[in-house]
Amino acid sequence: MRKECDFSKSRKNPYAKMLKKQITIRLEADVIDYFKGLAESSGISYRSSMSILHLESATRLLFCVARDES
């Protein structure tokens, strides 16, 4: 393994803006338990399940707002 690496020709990750960001939110214990149970039965992590639900909800909301404005 090299002792030093040359990063002078490196470039920024073009997908960096699409990476996940860490946040802190407070949820009721039963909400977390629900998603953890869902994760066990589906094989998807509870955090991913929450993320999918939030993305779907936001998409529906934006669609409804756009439809009402037209």
Please indicate, yes or no, if residue 57 is contained in any of the structural domains.
yes
What's the number of domains the chain is made of?
Answer: 1
Closest CA to 48 of 13, 56, 17: 56
pLDDT tens, position by position, 1-43:
678 888 888 888 888 777 888 889 999 999 999 999 999 999 9
pLDDT band of 69, cuts 50, 70, 90: confident
Please indicate, yes or no, if residue 43 is contained in any of the structural domains.
yes
Could you tell me which residues come within 8 angstroms of residue 38 by beta carbon, excluding any fewer than 6 positions away? 44, 46, 49
- CA separation for the pair 12, 33 (Å, rounded): 38
pLDDT at 40: 92
Q: pTM for the complete prediction?
A: 0.58
Q: Angle at which helices 29-42 and 46-69 pack, to 10 degrees? A: 110
Please indicate, yes or no, if residue 47 is contained in any of the structural domains.
yes
Range of the domain at 37: 26-69
pLDDT > 70 fraction of the chain, expressed in percent and rounded: 97
Please indicate, yes or no, if residue 35 is contained in any of the structural domains.
yes
Residue 17 is given by DSSP the state G
